[in-house]
Amino acid sequence: MDDPDLILVTQSNVVDYEGYGKLPLDRLDLYKSLVYPRMVHHAGGFRSHLDYINHRTTGKIFEEATYPERRRMLNIWNLPSMAGVHLANYLTQFGLRVHVINNLDSEWDWFEQAYAACKRPPLVGISSTFYLSWKEVGAVARRLRGLDPDMEIVLGGAFANAETIHADPAAFGTRMRRLGLRYVLHAFNSEPDLRDLLLARRNGTALDAVRNMARIDGRLKDGTFEPGTKHWHKALLALDECPPTWDRLHLPFLNRTIQIRTASGCPFSCAFCSYPTTAGGWSTVEADHVRAHLDSVMRIPNVDRIIFIDDTFNVPPHRFRELIRIFAEYRFEWFSFLRVQYVNEEDVKMMKDSGCAGVYLGIESASDTVLKNMNKRATGKQFAEGVRLLNKYDIPYLAAFVLGFPGETDRTIQENVDFIRNNGVRFYSLKEFFYMAHTQVHEKRAEYGLTGMGSKWAHATMTHEDAARIKLDIFQSVSESTHIDPDTSLWYMAYLYDQGYDFRAIDRVQAEINGVMKRQLATLADAPAWESARPALRAAE
């Protein structure tokens, strides 16, 4: 693409495997809950589950490979993101040219080529959808500026927006100077602001009219910092305000799967979740408009799988049924999130007939006590019935559990274990409660005796150390179901499916990886220090 207005870096690796590998192995017992079961010790270091497969099948780990080789290897960030494709589709209607770099760690050579080919310097965007800290943003920004110290970089997306929830945009100034960011777009729905920035930059007009933008005018080190004003945009839907032009985009990283969204926001208000607060409302796309976009997607060569990333895809039920009737008219398979407490047998049969390949179930807890505290509007019995129907129609699913929410006890933990074992759950994930200030549970912190923040917390019935220990205990003891890393969850399964693994193969390879990790944990428990256990751990691999 000649002279793009924007080169957009959509995603990159967010887990510092090399950093974990530098931690003292003889102290692993102190940080084992941070690495297990997220990663496996293999080939001399801590690796992602996909890199374990890479090494077993190619003899190489991802970081050892060339960029063309990396694009052919397994890496969760090689799965095309929704954000990059959506932005390219949205901006195209305004005559703006976007070059999408889907995974910077696999496509750095493509980035260098695209940037060098530009006759005029493009704006370079960093999408922060999957970043949780400035450290991750900084790693990308420094790499980009290493190529060109004068590169104009704009940061936008979920992390940038989250930073303004409890702080003023004026706080961006120091970070921007340190990391070399020219602009930060900090609205939750920042697409119109990015459009206005790109058009003003192309036309040489003033940037003062661009809303929700912090910027540095002049030299990054000592230029004038302008925090900009905050303005709320209504939810911008990937399909509602974009022409159906997916098949006209240049997306060389696509394989068979694409991600789209037919709704924004969430009508629920689960006490642990920040999304209803940050999203600011719930909006859905009309079914006929979804159909027009599906027509465009189906014109993309080889694409025959779609991940719908709507947070509440099957709510309201009548709209969900209308959508899956439409899906049945096409030859594609699909994945989605599913509020399984709201499906009946007719729904599940329609899902199967329309090509449903897998769903994510945010069960969180099988205990009615904890579910009530979470404001989940569901019961363990309802979840069990929904799971029974999915099993009956052989629709793969991942049942996700959160451990340690206020009210959690040994008894409620056992209810989760019993649910997994007694209901034929094939895939599950475990993750500790993460405490955020912009959630409903924060408003009840005094009632629960809840203290701390983030991953370090305590309340009247449990602490984060307890939850971390319980997570490993369940992982090691449950043999009836296959654990999937909660950080990648549905995407991990959909990505392996995209790469040619059926669900039996996914189950088989993940069971092998889990077995290695369980043996490593058992060896660690039996040895006073990692060094003395090293031969046994090598054998466990």
Q: How is residue 85 written in tokens?
A: 């494709």
Per-residue confidence (pLDDT) for residue 329, from 0 to 100? 96
Distance CA 243, CA 439 (A): 35
Q: How far apart are the first and last CA of the chain?
A: 45
Per-residue confidence (pLDDT) for residue 221, from 0 to 100? 81
Per-residue confidence (pLDDT) for residue 531, from 0 to 100? 47
pLDDT per 10-residue tile (average), the chain, 541 residues: 89 92 86 94 95 96 97 97 91 95 98 95 94 93 96 94 81 92 90 95 92 90 85 62 88 96 74 59 81 95 96 91 96 97 97 98 96 93 98 98 96 98 97 89 92 95 96 97 96 97 97 96 66 52 61
Question: Residues 14, 18, 20, 23: is their CA dihedral positive or negative?
Answer: negative
Domains of the chain by start residue, with CATH: 246-501 (3.80.30.20)
Per-residue confidence (pLDDT) for residue 25, from 0 to 100? 84
Residue 168 phi/psi, 5-degree rounding, is: -80, 145
DSSP symbols for 370-432: HHHHHT----HHHHHHHHHHHHHTT--EEEEEEE--TT--HHHHHHHHHHHHHTT--EEEEEE
Distance CA 280, CA 304 (A): 32
Per-residue confidence (pLDDT) for residue 222, from 0 to 100? 82
Per-residue confidence (pLDDT) for residue 162, from 0 to 100? 83
Per-residue confidence (pLDDT) for residue 530, from 0 to 100? 45
